[in-house]
Amino acid sequence: MHYTKFISLLAVTLMIASCGNSNSKVKSLAEGASGNIVAYENSAVNAIQQALPTLMVLPSDNLMKNSGALTTQTINGKSVVMRDYNKFFTSNMDNKAIISVIQNAFVQVNYPIQDLEQTLKQLETQEALDMVDGMEKDAKTMLLTVAQPDMIIELDYNSSFDMKKPVNEARTISYTLNVIDSYTSTVISSTSETGLTGENTASILSAGLEKSAKKMTSEIQNAFSDILTRGRNVTVRIAVGAGCDFSLNDDSIVDEPYSDWIVDYIKTHTVKGAYKMQRNTDKELYFVNCRIPLLNEDGTQYGVYDWARDMSKSIRKNLGVKATNKSQGLGEILITLDGLK
Amino acid sequence: MKLKNLIFVTLILVSCGGNNNSNQKSFTPKDRTTVEMSESERRAAIEAKKAEKGVDLGVALASNDVKLSVMPPFPKGDITEAISERIAVKLLHLTTANGIGGLNNVPGFALCASMDEVDKKLTSTAPQKMVTKYSISYSVRNLATDDVYASYEQEVTGVGGSWEEATRNAVNEIENNVHIQKMLSTASEKIITWYNENLGTFKKQVSTALGTNDYAYALALINSVPEKAVAAFEYATSIHDGVIAKFKMQNASKELVAMKQAILASENTLSPEVYAHLSLIPTDAPEYKEALALSTEYENKINQQREKDEMQKISAEERKHQLEMAQLESERMMVQYQSDAVSEEIQKLERELEYERKGFWGSLGSRVINLVDSF
């Protein structure tokens, strides 16, 4: 018996030793990498790759509450929710482990996603550096200095432990993952599992995700394919700026209300005229599900900023109105009208 | 058979691969940023752009010699002591940036600011941000009469990781603008006009103060007159020294007590405060003789102590330096007297008029002095 064990051990050792690179000098991480930038530059443009949407796992409010990181306060008679993300990460080791498992599922399909905790740290460092450099910052810049994923993977999970059960079945978890487009609040993919059992939270979720990650990544890929086919889905908001002396229902210099002109522009400058009006007031026009092109003729990006730039130019030229482009990210167009030029 | 299978698999692979987007484009970017322009044209364009952003000198102000003190909001809620002082510094910058003569130690006229919270909001972002909006009401006031010469209201918004940080950042939004320039210009002109048109009233205010032996308040009134209000300034200058003399005589006994306390507190070291109190006792006051004797005794004690410590005795140079320091200290003390007197008058006014913002101007004198010291 001992003899058999010894032979087995020797065989395994020899196998391990024979594996790997025949070259005695092991390549470093960088030396092992390969790529061809020329071939890549000459290949057709993939508009998704060009402006790659960032994904980030964010805890749901329910999970924040269960972690003691969500409280409510009354301010000016109104109940408001206070979220403490640092507390979320430090209150429960499982929170971090679970997020790592989800992130790893995306690494497996070559789509590394942004880490919330590191992003928060980076923002803190950036704020400190900006202070040292004496950078000018207005209220809006400070307001936008936050984690801004284009797609949110919202995580919610519950975990319970039954001491009466064997250790490898004692832990039970249920989880829900929603992938949400942060500009349109559209749910791109949703998956949930209940009553998964095992030894610890991370390993149970890891096993559960093996199946659901495939479904989730496939649904995200479908969303990307939809963008490539029908254009990017964005919201368009045209608002009257403070101090502007007209409303959107007033007649413009072309003898029609500003709102009519704006609607006509949107009809003709969205992919196949795709848009839906959601708000029409004297001060604001708000459209959702607007599809805009992805690329210029020369293969360069055409995003929300470019679309808003073109519309602002047209407003200035045709209506004689000063228009400011305040668009953000990949899916949010905002133009303010600041009075006649 | 094998060849057929190979062709079939190849076809499947070919049909599977690649992007489904039929509208594929290659990346051949066009230059969008180079502008054809000669060097001289470029320079001219830069100059024209600079001129666009330049300060409109048309609104630059004449100083009119008006001096303003600054009065920030009282600390309350998210407006902490530190934030209140920050606002004071901002107000001071606004006055100096707009040609106002400078900080007036005596709070006759002040650029005042009150801050009212308009709204508070929280974002749902990570990290969460607090947004707070304030309405700032600026006014230039005659603190002695509570007249408002000009006012302007501005809204500022601050963002931060806490409510206090948001408030601090909102205060940072206070910046010079054309409305503030106009307000200060209007106020300084109205102040001059008030003196020119109300010389009789002004003289009556001063004589009432003198009649009630309120010399500190009388001094505050006459020290607030800007030089450009010629007639009032001439009148103020003509009675200035007489009022000072009466003020000093009135306070001589108080100063003597204060001098004794300063000697006790000095612990055998030279203190300018001792000399400052001495300088505020007139030579013809009954208290002067005692004060002078006390100062001589004080110096002797110091010299004895220095002898023990094998140190040099008080030299003429050191005494001169101390007297210079004492001059500054006595000026500060005079300002304190005048500020307290104005503060008292305002509180009287508050009581009489049941002023709606009761308490706002309370203990004004010491607040102004604290601010003056902090600058």
Closest CA to A53 of A176, A154, A184, A152: A152
Asked if residue B50 belongs to a domain, the reply is: no
Mean pLDDT throughout B117-137?
92
Q: Is pLDDT above 80 for A325?
A: yes
Residues in chain B closer than 8 A to A243 (CB atoms)? none
Measured CA distances, A68 to A92, A94, A150 (Å): 10, 14, 27
Mean pLDDT throughout A173-198?
92
Q: Between the ranges A43-52, A98-107, A287-296, B39-48, where is the mean pLDDT highest?
A: A287-296
Bridge partners (DSSP) of residue A237 are A286, A334
Mean pLDDT throughout A185-191?
93
Structure confidence at residue A24 (pLDDT): 55
Mean pLDDT throughout B14-41?
67
Structure confidence at residue A272 (pLDDT): 94
B228 within 8 A of B261, measured Cβ to Cβ: no
Q: Per-residue b/e over A133-172, b at no fewer than 16 CB within 10 Å?
A: eeeeeebeebbebbbbbbbbbbbbbebeeeeeeeeeebbb
Q: Is pLDDT above 60 for B194?
A: yes
Where is pLDDT greater, at B141 or B362?
Answer: B141
* Residue B227 CB-density burial (10 A; 0-12 exposed, 13-18 middle, 19+ buried): middle
Distance, in Å, from the CA atom of B334 to the CA atom of B326, rounded to the nearest integer, reads 12
Q: How many CB pairs under 8 A join A and B?
A: 82
Mean pLDDT throughout B17-44?
72
CB-based contact, A1 to chain B, within 8 Å = no
- Measured between CA atoms, the residue of chain B closest to residue A77 is B120
* Chosen from B20, B22, B26, B120 to mutate, greatest number of chain A CBs within 10 A: B26
Structure confidence at residue B348 (pLDDT): 64
Please name the amino acid found at residue A310: D
Split at pLDDT 50, 70, 90, the class of A88 is very high
Split at pLDDT 50, 70, 90, the class of B11 is very low
Mean pLDDT throughout B186-214?
89
* Same domain assignment for residues B220 and B333: yes
How many domains does chain B fold into?
Answer: 2
Residues in chain A closer than 8 A to B135 (CB atoms)? none
Tell whether pTM > 0.80. Answer: no
Give the lowest-confidence range in B231-240, B271-280, B324-333. Answer: B324-333
Structure confidence at residue A257 (pLDDT): 94
* Same domain assignment for residues B73 and B169: yes
Residues in chain B closer than 8 A to A140 (CB atoms)? 159
B205 within 8 A of B235, measured Cβ to Cβ: no
Q: Is pLDDT above 60 for B19?
A: no
Structure confidence at residue B144 (pLDDT): 64
Structure confidence at residue A20 (pLDDT): 46
Mean pLDDT throughout B92-101?
72
Provide the ipTM: 0.74
Q: Which of residues 217-246 of A touch B (CB under 8 A)?
A: 225, 228-229
* Same domain assignment for residues B212 and B176: no
Distance, in Å, from the CA atom of B160 to the CA atom of B173, rounded to the nearest integer, reads 13
Mean pLDDT throughout B242-249?
92
Q: Identify the residue whose tokens are 């709606």.
A: B356
- Please tell me the distance in Å from B335's CA to the nearest CA on chain A: 37
Which residue range is the domain that position B238 belongs to?
199-374
Structure confidence at residue A13 (pLDDT): 53
Cβ-based interface (< 8 Å): residues of B facing A: 19-21, 24-30, 119-120, 122-129, 131, 157-160, 169-170, 173
* Same domain assignment for residues B231 and B106: no
Bridge partners (DSSP) of residue B103 are B68
* Same domain assignment for residues B136 and B254: no
Could B29 and A299 be called an inter-chain contact, meaning their C-beta atoms sit closer than 8 Å?
yes
Q: Is pLDDT above 60 for B116?
A: yes
Average pLDDT along chain B: 78
Asked if residue B20 belongs to a domain, the reply is: no
* Same domain assignment for residues B107 and B167: yes
Split at pLDDT 50, 70, 90, the class of B37 is confident
Structure confidence at residue A65 (pLDDT): 94
Mean pLDDT throughout B112-134?
91
Could B27 and A298 be called an inter-chain contact, meaning their C-beta atoms sit closer than 8 Å?
yes
* Token pair listed for B142: 């005659």
Q: Phi/psi class of residue B333: alpha, beta or left (left: φ > 0; alpha: ψ in -120 to 50)?
A: alpha
- Measured between CA atoms, the residue of chain A closest to residue B131 is A143
Please name the amino acid found at residue B344: E
Would you kindly state where each structural domain of chain A is located, as residue ranges?
Answer: 51-114+149-229, 231-340
Distance, in Å, from the CA atom of B357 to the CA atom of A214, rounded to the nearest integer, reads 67
Of B195, B223, B246, which residue is a domain's last?
B195
* Same domain assignment for residues B204 and B346: yes
* Same domain assignment for residues B264 and B171: no
Of B195, B217, B236, which residue is a domain's last?
B195
* Residue of B20, B128, B157 with shortest CB distance to A83: B128
Q: Is pLDDT above 90 for B71?
A: no
Where is pLDDT greater, at B82 or B363?
Answer: B82
**How would you list the strands of the sheet with B147-160, edge to edge?**
B69-71, B109-122, B130-142, B147-160
* Same domain assignment for residues B234 and B275: yes
Is omega for the bond preceding B107 within 30 degrees of 0, making it cis? Answer: no
H or E stretch covering A126 = helix A116-133
- Please tell me the distance in Å from A142's CA to the nearest CA on chain B: 6
Q: Is pLDDT above 80 for A49?
A: yes
Structure confidence at residue B368 (pLDDT): 47
- Please tell me the distance in Å from B29's CA to the nearest CA on chain A: 5
- Give the CATH number for residue B123: 3.40.50
* Same domain assignment for residues B189 and B214: no
* Same domain assignment for residues B112 and B211: no
Give the lowest-confidence range in A203-212, B114-123, B245-254. Answer: A203-212
* Same domain assignment for residues B237 and B96: no
Average pLDDT along chain A: 88
Give the lowest-confidence range in A121-135, A148-162, A278-292, B299-313. Answer: B299-313
- Measured between CA atoms, the residue of chain A closest to residue B19 is A46
Q: Is pLDDT above 90 for B105?
A: no
Residues in chain A closer than 8 A to B177 (CB atoms)? none
Could B30 and A44 be called an inter-chain contact, meaning their C-beta atoms sit closer than 8 Å?
no
H or E stretch covering A179 = strand A171-181
A101 within 8 A of A155, measured Cβ to Cβ: no
Q: Which fold has domain A51-114+149-229?
A: Rossmann fold (3.40.50)
Query: Rounded to a whole number, what is the largest CA-CA distance in chain B?
Result: 133
- Please tell me the distance in Å from B110's CA to the nearest CA on chain A: 29
Structure confidence at residue B349 (pLDDT): 57
Asked if residue B25 belongs to a domain, the reply is: no
Asked if residue B274 belongs to a domain, the reply is: yes
Closest CA to A53 of A238, A175, A228, A211: A228
A95 within 8 A of A60, measured Cβ to Cβ: no
Split at pLDDT 50, 70, 90, the class of A148 is confident
CB-based contact, A255 to chain B, within 8 Å = no
The percentage of chain A sitting over the pLDDT mark of 90, rounded to a whole number, equals 52
* Chosen from A41, A75, A232 to mutate, greatest number of chain B CBs within 10 A: A75
Asked if residue B72 belongs to a domain, the reply is: yes
CB-based contact, A298 to chain B, within 8 Å = yes
Could B122 and A80 be called an inter-chain contact, meaning their C-beta atoms sit closer than 8 Å?
yes
Where is pLDDT greater, at A144 or B262?
Answer: B262
- Measured between CA atoms, the residue of chain B closest to residue A226 is B21
Distance, in Å, from the CA atom of A263 to the CA atom of A220, rounded to the nearest integer, reads 31
Mean pLDDT throughout A295-321?
94
Residues in chain B closer than 8 A to A123 (CB atoms)? 127
Where is pLDDT greater, at A51 or B336?
Answer: A51
Give the lowest-confidence range in A199-203, A312-316, B167-171. Answer: A199-203
- Please tell me the distance in Å from A287's CA to the nearest CA on chain B: 22
